[in-house]
Amino acid sequence: MQYVLYDDFKPGVVFGGKVIDITSLLGGATEHGQRATVEAMIRNAKDIASKAGALAEKSGGKPVEQVRLRQPVPDPRHLVCAARNYKDGREAPEANFFLKGTATIIGNGDTCIMPPVDVRVFHAEPELAVVIGKEAYNVSERDAMDYVFGYTCFLDVSARGVASGYYMHKSYATFGPIGPGIVTADEVPDPHKLRIRLWVGDALRQDFSTSGMANSIPKLIAVASSVHPLMPGDVLATGTHHTDLGPVVDGDKVTIEIEKVGRLSVNIRDDRKRKWPEDAKKE
Ligand code: MN
């Protein structure tokens, strides 16, 4: 099942190529904001899955290409990002994380705005993101996958070389495109065998497999949940392969596609119209 928010952030599922409005299955949660809506989608997922077919027959739904898909988790409590989590020629990293603010979050078709600050380069790191399904605190690696609700695509947009530390590198508004929907875990039997590709315009720039992660998803969940509880609807981005990272500049259309999970595109705007060499330093 794929869960989406669409148009004015209506909750839906994609069923036979159509988006079905599931507002009526969420017990009034939509009146309590986007976070409550997402939490209710997760909490009621079994019920929704069993009723989606009948609801589709009754309401018909809208073809998915005729709706505007929005960020499927607009307001998570935590957006936790793995730092340096691929075996990409550098020192094999221990599990390490930073938090990205929720003001970074935008959805499919939206625009990432490059801030007018001095940087070495802007990058958009393609990453598989895990959406947490139930509260996870101090969970073991062995149990960790029980806490996964589903998966989505994430771009960890980064401003290299501005000040120091993750906050200034990672937190600018619009620096966290996510979506297009959440594909439930049952549809992704092995999240460590997914192809991730990134295009800039029509040019393929990155093509790697999640099999290259240095720390597996269970390991990441175990370590992150040893720091603080991960809550339903929280997002854990699993890092990128740094080898083929390249600059993003004004006018670019950047597309990430993850096998079984989906495809997300955003536009890049930089009012300063800056350019960088292809090999601008990748850290
Ligand atoms: Mn990253």
**CA of residue 142 to ligand 1 center, whole Å:** 25
Question: 274 C-alpha vs ligand 1 centroid, how far in Å?
Answer: 22
Q: Write the Ramachandran bin of 31: left for phi over 0, alpha for psi from -120 to 50, otherwise beta.
A: alpha
- Burial label, 161 (beta-carbon count in 10 A; 0-12, 13-18, 19+): middle
Using 50, 70 and 90 to split pLDDT, how confident is the model at 89?
confident
pLDDT of residue 281: 60
Find the 78 Cα to ligand 1 centroid distance in Å. Answer: 15
C-alpha 38 to ligand 1 mean position (Å): 24
The yes-or-no verdict on residue 283 having pLDDT over 60 is: no
From ligand 1's centre to the CA of 162, what distance in Å? 16
Q: Is 44's pLDDT higher than 70? A: yes
Span from the CA of 239 to the centroid of ligand 1 (angstroms): 4
Number of other residues whose CB lies within 10 A of the CB of residue 120? 15
Nearest one of 99, 123, 124 to 236, comparing CA atoms: 99
Pick the closest to residue 41 from 132, 106, 109 (CA basis): 132
Distance CA 91, CA 113 (A): 32
Task: Give distance in angstroms: CA of 151 to centre of ligand 1.
Answer: 16
* Residue 44 CB neighbour total at 10 angstroms: 17
> What is the rounded average pLDDT of the residues 264-280?
91
**Span from the CA of 140 to the centroid of ligand 1 (angstroms):** 24
Distance (Å, whole) CA 77 – CA 255: 26
Predicted local confidence at residue 127, as pLDDT: 98
Find the 127 Cα to ligand 1 centroid distance in Å: 7
Spacing, Cα 157 to ligand 1 middle (Å): 8
Can you give the pLDDT at residue 216? 97
- Mean pLDDT, rounded, for 141-148: 98
pLDDT-derived band at 88, boundaries 50, 70, 90: confident
Query: Chain-wide mean pLDDT for the chain?
Result: 95
Quick: pLDDT tens for 215-248.
999 999 999 999 999 999 999 999 999 888 999 9
Q: How far apart are the CA of 62 and the centre of ligand 1, in A?
A: 34
Euclidean distance between CA atoms 246 and 211, whole angstroms: 21
Distance between Cα 42 and ligand 1 center (Å): 25
156-194 pLDDT tens trace: 999 999 988 999 999 999 999 999 999 999 999 999 999
pLDDT of residue 163: 87
Q: What's the CA-to-centroid distance between 15 and ligand 1, angstroms?
A: 32
pLDDT at 92 over 80: no
The CA 58 to ligand 1 mean position distance, Å, reads 42
Burial, 57: exposed, middle or buried (Cβ in 10 Å; 0-12, 13-18, 19+)? exposed
Distance 172 CA to ligand 1 centre (A): 14
pLDDT at 69 over 60: yes
- DSSP class of 148: E
Q: What is the DSSP letter of 274?
A: -
Cα distances (Å, whole numbers) of residue 178 to 24, 100, 101, 105, 280: 25, 13, 13, 7, 25
Calculate how far, in angstroms, residue 57's C-alpha sits from the geometric centre of ligand 1: 41
Cα of 83 from ligand 1 centre, angstroms: 6
